[in-house]
Chains A and B, each alone.
Chain A
Amino acid sequence: MSSRISNGAVAGIIFLAVLILASPFLFFNVPFGELSKDGQYHLELTEQEVSFPVMHDALGYGGRPVPFSLYYYFFHQVPREERQKAMLGASLVSALLTVFLLFAMLQHHHEDSLLNGLMVSLYVVSPLFLYTWLIPSPEGLALACSILAFFLLERSKFLSVPLFFLIPFISIKSAIACALGLWLFYFYVKKTTITLPALFLGSSILLVMIMVYSPLGMPEMATLSEPFALQHLITDFGATMGFPLFMVLLCGIGLFLTRKKKYAYLPAYMATLIMAYLAIILPTMRIYAQLFVAGFAGFAFAHFIRRPWKIPLVSILFLVIISLNLVQQAGAYGQYFPLEKERDAMVFLQSLPPGIVFSHPDYGFLITSIGQHEVFMDNAPLYAPQVQERQNTTSFLFYSRNLEDTRQTLDQNKISFIFISKDMKEGKVWAKPDQGLLFLLRNNQAFAKVYDSNGMEIWQVKDANRK
């Protein structure tokens, strides 16, 4: 390991990462070891049969194919009772390793502890860092492998090659981000080192496309409504997988500040542009885009620290404000975990007979993983059957006030239960207390409320009226 790395800076960044990773358990009343909502979904997939090249998710969408990932294969081998802990533990270790390697790599190229430390620290304090590493998923492991591969690339090209080859088998999206990384590497590091890794990565991507994705065909994607809407991109506006507004602002300033060396930064600009586009259309890619955002934001932050200020008081206050703004985004950290009242409802759902549950797609993973019931729709529509049709049906069921048509649709889709949360009644789905389905639920011949606690409701669709 390079002796040039400042031990103090490394220790500080690792401590910050540990603190951030522990923050939901320390400050948001999340039970220690609890998996996040999306993490429950990945856990559930490891509990099902892992087959190559296509796996099967029995509960989501009433059964659907899932592309193979080495991640599921690996954790499927871990004993069931240890699996959750192993997934979370591996994720946390990967997080710390990634942070350390990122800093080490940056230091290796440009010995500027302040700039590098800020870049990595801004990545660590972003909500997407927490999302990536507290939600055990193939993307997290693939990101850790990618960073390790790049780290090894400069030291032992041959050691990095197997990693580059493996990454597409863990996550194809990570492989695309990795390819972009290699392209940047070509411009900024050594022009000759990437040929072999690029060859292996490219052939591996091709292999995965042919073996895994080709049998599945082109996925039917749900129409992405308002992909540019800030609610989907900015955590301050409610995005789950988004960027903090302040970080985006700092990133913009960083980009602006680099304009004087525009030719030197041209490849980075192009990569940022591509990544920004991918991040808008594919939410998972935001995990990688955050590295770019944090990089430029760190550049801006370092500029402000080093700037020769004319008014000393302003410099101090300014840096305090930037730090407070960054701390403020921690408010988004708690949103990834199920609330206690949601968990209680799901535990009750376990006791109900099997049947498909209809709810907002945001609750899909909870219903399948903790509630142990099939769900009509969740937030993983890739390769799910009749996604567009299901989306239309969901809209119809939410807003129709025609009892006969609603019953018919529920019967056709074999929906037995309806889960309604407080958020759904308060704007997430309905704006009025008697809107759409809420009005129809008053009909006690068609529906029976079987659970009502803390604003969470479970309704049973009565069999007696079924055709």
Chain B
Amino acid sequence: MVKNQKLIIFLIFMITLAARLSFTLTSNTFDSESYFVMRQVEHIRATGLPLYNDPLSYGGREYQFLPFFHYLLAGISFILPLDFVYRVIPQLFASSLVIFVYLFVKEFTKDILAALFSSFISGFIPVFFASTLGLSPLSFIMPMIVLLLYLLLKADSPAHTYLFIAGSVILALTHYYAALLVTGFFVYIALRKVDDLDIKKEELELILFSAFFTFFVLLTISKRAFLMHGIAFIWQNIPKQILNNYFADFSIINAVYQVGPILFLATVYIIYRESFITKRKPTTLLISFALTTMAILYFKLIPITVGLSFLSVVLVLLFGEFFILFLEFVEKTKVSQYKNLLIIALIILFIGTSVLPSIVLANASLEMSPSSQFLQAMEYLKRISPADAVVMASPEDGHIITKVANRSVVMDTNFIQVRSIDQRYNDIRSVYRINSDINTIRILQTYNVTFLIITDRAKEEFNIERVPFAQNRNCFREV
């Protein structure tokens, strides 16, 4: 029996938090999406409402999204300084994953050591670690999903059922990723039915509630998007070119690296064992969730980093079982006397395959963030440009321009509810890639563009060394 479990879990939490803060507190900037969250938080602070009618995005557009995460940050910002909220609070959320993983695995395996070990791994899942260093709703959603999975296992107790109800309401109001969990629940029901295994009434009721509430929220908040895009709404109106790019670099090897190779191999074995031999309820639940995530990734419905993050967390939860099997196996061998040494070796192995990749990916992620020079340039743009100026840049830079320069952009990365998105993206692409002044001027006039921004990100996105229009000094002037 492991003593001082609470202290150990607190230490794991603090180590994870410290590792995360070491990146966020030392960086001057955030990733692009964070700037969108910042604008929303600041608008909620000022008006009490999210910025659904954004005059700067796409030259003015309407955009509905689920605002719970933004409200939560705005609410906390009334107590704590805004910069602290931006840099620390999301990391607190993300780090809380270790606690919920601990609770789930403990409930699932009844083994504290396995639970602590899984908890430690969950703090350093490379893809999740790197993708939640900014103000990402994912940092809140992921722990919430694990918490809900845990609460569903404990559906017998009234306190847990009420917490589940509250949690599923919060999750449904936070992001449409809640639909992923609900779909996973239905796959779980189907798998249990296929195996002719029972589902507790309480579980079924909670799942039904969660499904209907999520469905209601999605239908309400996305009504206009549904009407505009029809069924294509589920692809979020992402331009085809970008959608292909999202998945262009995807390979199994790369995915395994981002998830953690040891974790991946260990859980593949567990999935095999649990699917065909033991068929226990918690594993069926996790396998259902994993299958759903894989299917959704296959149909390109979520970005790869998000999909892999979900998948990784499920694998971590399953890993607890592998850990027990591993120790049982060791007990039966002649090296059982070195059990503790083997555990330490396993920890070192994980540091090599999960913690280090986490740090490498986090560094890479920070390098992708806008530089301080870019932010200074945006401040400068704000000073020299008229308030109604329209800026063309890489969509990835869109949120930064609207937040820092406070100027309208032709495109950013919130594609939903924008008509002719492919045309718009291709127009921007052709301005950056095609050496035709007539074509460039025509497009710039179409969107009333007054400023063009060239960044390394734009060069990378459009796969160019030099920007053709920058050579034309008659039409364009460097400011």
Question: Residue-by-residue, is B195-225 near A (CB-CB < 8 Å gives 1, otherwise 0)?
Answer: 0000001100110110011011001100100
On whether A427 and B420 interact (CB within 8 A), knowing A318-B212, A324-B216, the answer reads: yes
Verify B230–A231 contact, CB threshold 8 A: yes
Tell me, yes or no, whether A237 is within 8 Å of chain B by CB: yes
Near B by CB (< 8 A), chain A positions 216-235 give 229-231
Tell me, yes or no, whether A328 is within 8 Å of chain B by CB: yes
Main secondary structure of the interface of B (DSSP, over half): helix
> What range describes how many residues of A lie at the interface?
20 to 34
Tell me, yes or no, whether A311 is within 8 Å of chain B by CB: yes
Tell me, yes or no, whether A464 is within 8 Å of chain B by CB: no
Residues of B within 8 A of A314 (CB): 161, 165, 205-206, 208-209
Question: Residue-by-residue, is A318-343 near B (CB-CB < 8 Å gives 1, otherwise 0)?
Answer: 10011011001001000000000000
Verify B226–A310 contact, CB threshold 8 A: no
Verify B219–A236 contact, CB threshold 8 A: yes
Tell me, yes or no, whether A31 is within 8 Å of chain B by CB: no
Verify B205–A309 contact, CB threshold 8 A: yes
On whether A238 and B230 interact (CB within 8 A), knowing A311-B206, A317-B209, the answer reads: yes
Verify B209–A310 contact, CB threshold 8 A: no
Residues of B within 8 A of A310 (CB): 201-202, 205
In the bound complex, CA of A309 to CA of B202 (Å): 8
Main secondary structure of the interface of A (DSSP, over half): helix
> What's the least CB distance linking B390 to chain A, in Å?
15
Near A by CB (< 8 A), chain B positions 118-164 give 158, 161-162
Tell me, yes or no, whether B339 is within 8 Å of chain A by CB: no
Verify A426–B419 contact, CB threshold 8 A: yes
Tell me, yes or no, whether B47 is within 8 Å of chain A by CB: no
Residues of B within 8 A of A230 (CB): 230-231
Residues of A within 8 A of B208 (CB): 314, 318
On whether A322 and B212 interact (CB within 8 A), knowing A236-B219, A238-B226, the answer reads: yes
Question: Residue-by-residue, is B417-432 near A (CB-CB < 8 Å gives 1, otherwise 0)?
Answer: 0011001000000000
In the bound complex, CA of A310 to CA of B200 (Å): 10
Verify A317–B205 contact, CB threshold 8 A: no
Complex: chain B residue closest to A307, CB-CB? B205
Complex: chain A residue closest to B161, CB-CB? A311
Tell me, yes or no, whether A1 is within 8 Å of chain B by CB: no
Instruction: Specify which of A236, A321, A433 is in contact with B223 (CB 8 Å cutoff).
Output: A236
> What's the least CB distance linking B28 to chain A, in Å?
40
In the bound complex, CA of A436 to CA of B215 (Å): 39
Residues of A within 8 A of B212 (CB): 318, 321-322, 325
Verify B230–A229 contact, CB threshold 8 A: yes
Complex: chain B residue closest to A253, CB-CB? B208
Residues of B within 8 A of A325 (CB): 212, 215-216, 219
Tell me, yes or no, whether B255 is within 8 Å of chain A by CB: no
Question: Residue-by-residue, is A287-311 near B (CB-CB < 8 Å gives 1, otherwise 0)?
Answer: 0000000000000000000000111
Verify B162–A313 contact, CB threshold 8 A: yes
Tell me, yes or no, whether B347 is within 8 Å of chain A by CB: no
> What's the least CB distance linking A49 to chain B, in Å?
40
Tell me, yes or no, whether B228 is within 8 Å of chain A by CB: yes
Interfacial residues, chain A to chain B (CB-CB below 8 A): 229-231, 236-238, 245-246, 249, 309-311, 313-315, 317-318, 321-322, 324-325, 328, 331, 426-427, 431-434
What are 10 A-B pairs at a CB distance below 8 A? Answer: A229-B231, A238-B226, A321-B209, A321-B212, A321-B213, A322-B212, A328-B223, A427-B228, A431-B419, A431-B423
- Of all A-B residue pairs in the complex, the 6 with the closest CB atoms, nearest first, are A431-B420, A231-B230, A310-B201, A427-B419, A237-B230, A230-B231
